[in-house]
Amino acid sequence: MQSKFLIKWILGLLLVAVFYGCAAPPPAPGAPTSTVKTPQPVQMLQIGHNWGGNKLKVLESIVNSYQKQHPELKLILQDGYNHDQLLASLQAGKGPDVFFADHVFGEHLLRQGLLGAYCADDQCFECSGSNPPHWCWYGTTGLNDSPWPKALQVFTNGTRQCLEPSAICQSPNPPLWCKFAIGEVNYPEMDLFATPFIWFDGSKKPFPYGIPNNWRVDMVLANKNWLDERGESIPTTSEQLGTLVEKFNADHPIYYTEPTMFDSMFPQLKGIQSSAKAEDAGILVIDSVTLANVELVKSQAIVPLALEGVIPTIWVEGAYLNPSSHLRADALDFMYELREEPMQEVLFQNTGLLPINGNALVKLAEDGSTIGDVIRFAGQVGQLADLQ
């Protein structure tokens, strides 16, 4: 019995020796420890949109490029977010982290309590450090560090004019941006693109609730070549325009993007048939996106019309942060990236949507084409679309 017990004891010692002999030795004092980190879970950043065609292709390209630079994120495009679907999602406390909408619908959501300042004083701890993110630009410093100063070169002496449409700002329910126009809030110079994306807290201090991305304008233009061929002058009043259209009715002298725009601008001309092509018409009631694809746009043949009572209407589209998102900083980084010059130029070249980035905008305004004229004209006499 003793011999059997002795044999088991010896075998146990041998097994212990083999185990410790095969195990890795403990690190020597002062030796560096392993730097291998446990992989962090990838965050899903959802981007809601209702874009299509070339506009969607550009967005997909931007998302793919951004994805390569940010492997810690998984960017997911969610299409089909029209106004009704977006409203229902936000009301339910759901929806994508980031979504796109024009400034009119954005203000509607703000009034519904479904949006708020993305960077108010007590919300932006990221902005209090020595190296704040670029989207903090007026979350903590007011509006003095606007990233669009060069845009003011295009809108010189026109910025306040754009913000002072008295009929709108004196209405019973004026747009929120009228607080700038009527002097209720003291603010430094800024362009009209950032203006409708500003929210006011109880102290009337402005804070951003979205980041503008692109803009378009609905307006009236004349084809000088068409008018010259018929011995006609460029009309300067709505009455002259009506006489011109009626005189050449058989030639289909007018081209309009959509009947609703045409009827709202010129109800007295309702029923006039549109020309099949913009190039074949003398008058164009058109949006700047469609205009960018008109062949004559690269020449000086098409010029904006300054007609009394017919004001170019400006629509600014931006990216908004879902208040329910748990990825605010990541979402804002992406939203802000969309307004950088290279991406803005690509968006215009492929879609005709006008840039809000100051550098890109100045280049277009000075390129000697109709688009340059449109940008300057809209900045001087245009007004922001409103909820009315």
pLDDT top residue among 153 and 207:
207
What is the per-residue pLDDT across 253-278, written as a single tens digit (0 to 9) for each?
Answer: 888 887 777 777 777 667 778 888 88
39-43, 57-61, 146-150, 313-317, range with the lowest pLDDT: 146-150
What is the per-residue pLDDT across 342-377, written as a single tens digit (0 to 9) for each?
Answer: 888 999 999 999 988 777 877 887 777 788 888 878
Structure tokens at 304: 């904006």
Q: What is the pLDDT of residue 144?
A: 40
Which run of H or E residues covers position 102?
strand 98-102
Q: Is the pLDDT of residue 9 over 60?
A: no
Structure tokens at 253: 């002298």
- Neighbouring C-beta atoms of residue 370, cutoff 10 Å: 24
Cα distances (angstroms) measured from residue 138 to each of 32, 175, 196, 281, 384: 44, 21, 14, 46, 22
In sequence order, the 6+-apart residues with CB closer than 8 A to the CB of 209 are: 106, 110, 115, 116, 117, 118, 197, 198, 199, 320, 321
Given a contact cutoff of 8 angstroms between Cβ atoms, the answer to whether 84 and 101 are in contact is no
Given a contact cutoff of 8 angstroms between Cβ atoms, the answer to whether 106 and 208 are in contact is no
pLDDT top residue among 283 and 120:
283
Segment 81-105 shows an average pLDDT of: 91
Question: How is domain 43-215+317-384 classified at the CATH fold level?
Answer: D-Maltodextrin-Binding Protein; domain 2 (3.40.190)
Q: Is the pLDDT of residue 159 over 80?
A: no
Name the band, by pLDDT with cuts 50, 70 and 90, for residue 136. Answer: low
Best mean pLDDT range from 46-50, 296-300, 306-310, 357-361:
46-50
Q: What is the pLDDT of residue 205?
A: 59
Report the chain's C-alpha Rg in angstroms.
Answer: 30
Q: Is the pLDDT of residue 332 over 80?
A: yes
